[in-house]
Amino acid sequence: MNTRLFLEINELARATPWLHAPLAGYAAYGVVLFAVLLLAGWWLARRSGAGLPAAVWAPVGMLLAVAANQPIVSAMHVPRPYTALPGILVLADRSTDPSFPSDHATMAGAVAAGLLLVSWRLGLLAVAAAAVMGFARIYIGAHYPLDVLAGFAVGAVVTLLGYLVARGPIGAALGWLDGTRLRPLLRHGAPATADETAAARP
């Protein structure tokens, strides 16, 4: 089923040459969009005053998820589709790295899960971006569908479970930072602290 679905998407790729450039570009450089979405999560949390611990955790959770994926990739050691399936259309830069789970899908799943904790609207936008990323990675011949689904699962699980552990310490750290000169990074239009006000007096 996994291979059959891959081959069906590969046939779709053969029939849609006008999609090659945009999907190959997104598959390779779409990580920039996820960085922008993480920045937007921090900006929204800062302006609204809610969800800031989740906004701080989202990029950390993403990095931890990608790191946690590495031993899984090494242990499973599944060959890339273009290594195992001769004659397929390949739009990706060929790599000797194993295929399962997909690092790109892990990253995308982690960002989507983290941003759902910040804002449902932004999170759903990230989910859509992740879905397109997953499809693009299959479309260009870099991954099987199961590689992508497993990557989404690893990213989401690490991010969500990690937040349950980290939100308390993150909240405490943000509470401490709220009394420092870094407060403007935490709150939109935040007034100066008492220490800052006193220091500014002649």
CA separation for the pair 91, 13 (Å, rounded): 9
* Residue 194: inside a domain: no
Full domain range(s) for residue 179: 2-189
Dist. CA 49–CA 190, nearest whole Å: 10
Cβ atoms within 10 A of the Cβ of 11, count?
A: 12
Domain tally, the chain: 1
Instruction: Using alpha carbons only, give the angle 64, 68, 74 rounded to the nearest 5 degrees.
Output: 150
Domain-embedded: residue 172: yes
pLDDT digits (tens, 9 = 90+) for 80-100: 998 888 889 999 888 888 889
Cβ atoms 65, 158 nearer than 8 A: yes
In terms of C-beta density within 10 A (0-12 exposed, 13-18 middle, 19 or more buried), how is residue 120 classed?
exposed
Report yes or no on 153 lying in a domain.
yes
pLDDT > 70? residue 187: no
Q: Whole-angstrom Cα distance, residue 97 to residue 76?
A: 11
Does some domain include residue 98?
Answer: yes
pLDDT above 80 for 61: yes
pLDDT digits (tens, 9 = 90+) for 5-14: 999 999 999 9
Q: How would you label 129-162 residue by residue, b for 16+ Cβ within 10 Å and e otherwise? A: bbbbbbbbbbbbbbbbbbbbbbbbebbbebbbeb
Q: Is residue 200 part of a domain?
A: no
Q: Classify residue 131: in a domain, yes or no.
A: yes
Question: Is 14 inside a domain boundary?
Answer: yes
- Position 43 in a domain: yes
CATH of the domain at 157: 1.20.144.10
